[in-house]
Each structure stands twice: as C-alpha cells, then as structure tokens.
Structure 1
Amino acid sequence: MAKEQGQKVVAQNKKARHDYHVEDTWEAGMVLQGTEVKSLRMGRASLVDGFAEVDGGEVWLLGVHIPEYTQGTWTNHAARRRRKLLLNRAEIDKIERKVADKGYTLVPLSLYFKDGRAKVEIALAKGKKSWDKRHTIAEREANREKQVELGRRLKGRA
C-alpha cells in the first residue's frame, strides 16, 4: 500500500476565528486509539466545544467530539475523551507561559491528516467582546462592498 501524501482536512472550527483574536498557532500530533483514526478517516469530527490545556508539562485536548466508529466492537473509544497532544518541550513551555497570562486560551482550529498522520492546529487566542465581533462583521461587509464596486468600475458599469 502506498504512503499517503498531502493534507486532508477532517474538521475546521470556523467559529473560533469569529469568537477569538488568534495570536499564534502550532501544529501538534495526537495520541489516538485505532477506532478514533478510523472514525476520522471517515471524515467525522467536531471541534466546536474543543479547547486545550497544559497539565503537568503536557498539553491535552478536551471537548473534541470524535464519534464512535460504527463497525467498532467493545474496543470502541469514548467520544469526548482527553487526548494528549505531541509537541516539543520548548513549544510546551512557551504555550504554558502565554496561557498563564489572563484571558488567553488554547483553541483547536482544524483537524487534518498530513502525510497519513493525524494533526491538530491549535491557537493561542484571546476572547473577543461582542463589540469586537460586530466591528469584524462590519469591516468584512465594507471590504466586500469595495470589491464589488471595484469590479463594476473595471467592467465599465460605474
């Protein structure tokens, strides 16, 4: 069997960029059980309620829902169990220092396979206030209107 190449996205947390100011990101491997990998290969996962924490010098992923594998037997996994993330010691220390600051958290942005290995992209993020969210939406709509107007002018319809 040939080795997998490239990147296959399983799940993305689109709401994370809306709810948080993302400051820094890291790619981490995951310690998974066999049925979890099979379930992920079927494209089934949800990062909506997920977050990560540093505990005892290790980074753990919590709240991520990987549903049970349908053909699994008694060896099936729990859908929302704690999963260990694989990072370098220097990265873990850097994350731990930054998370210690008030208001920062670790959120998963995407879950994917890279060259056949399950990876998760985690981000150091700070929660947005409701006025920040409204400001972001207004900015996005203004940019969209600019692009539409620019397109009209280029086509000679202005």
Structure 2
Amino acid sequence: MTSIRGDIFLFPVVWVAISSASILVVLSNEPGEVCAFWRLFLSSLILLPLWIQAKKHVKIHHVASGIALSLHFILWMRSLFLIPVYTSTLLVVVYPLYSLVIDILVYKYRPSLIQLLGFAGGVTSLTLFLGVNRLALSQGAVLSLLAGLSVTLYFELG
C-alpha cells in the first residue's frame, strides 16, 4: 500500500489532467467521439501494465463500467461545442446528486439530514442556473446532464 506522502505528488498531475481536458477538447476542434476515443485509448495504454501486473480478469461489470465511461466522455465532449465550457463542466459535475438517488433507490441507503439538505440545495441551485441561462431545453445542457448520469453509472458499477 502506498503512503499518502508518496501520492501527494500525483495531485498536481491529476489536477492538470482534469482541469485541462475541456480546454484541450475545444482547442482540438475535433468531434467529441474522436477526443473520447483518444483519451480512453491513451489512458488504457498507460494503465495496461498495472492491469497485467494485478492479474485480474475482466468481468461483465468492468465492461459495463467502461461503456458508461466512454458514454460520459462522448456526451460531455460533444456538449463542449454546444454550450460554454463552464456551463458544460458545471452540469456534468452534478453526478453526486444522481449517485445519492441511485444509492437510495437501489441500495436502500438512508441519507442523513445534511445530505438531504445538500441534495435539495444542489437541485435548487441547478434549477435556478438553468432557468437564468435559459438552458433547460438546450441540446448541450441535456448532453452534459446525460454525461453526468453516465459517469455516475461508471462509479456505481466500478
């Protein structure tokens, strides 16, 4: 097991990789599917040695999780060309709201009062944001929200 001190040096790498993704996608001016393919392909090549070393077998939930991740990237990257980057990013990161709903419905999880208040605040803020920016029926907004749902499925299945 690695120590937190050793992993702390990975945080800047993760931060740069995540925060630069949307900018690089938009600057590439390539379709979302192309960007998603290359992101997943290169990530798979980087992680392949770790997977081989772990000698794990692929199970059906691994495949389903991978499909959900690819859908997340495709939907989100397509939305980047339809709405502003900040809006797309904001809408895709509502996945904790989806996750709480799935945990309640599927796993019979009983959320605490603070979680319910946070959920209500998140939904209210999202509704206000969508209404103010008139994005409720925007194709880009719907793609971003579906990308958030896809990444939720990725996390839940994984």
Structure 2-normalised TM-score? 0.29
> Comparing both chains, which one has the higher relative contact order based on Cα–Cα distances under 8 Å and sequence gaps of 6 or more?
2
Higher CA-based Rg:
1
Structure ranking higher in strand proportion: 1
More helix by share: 2
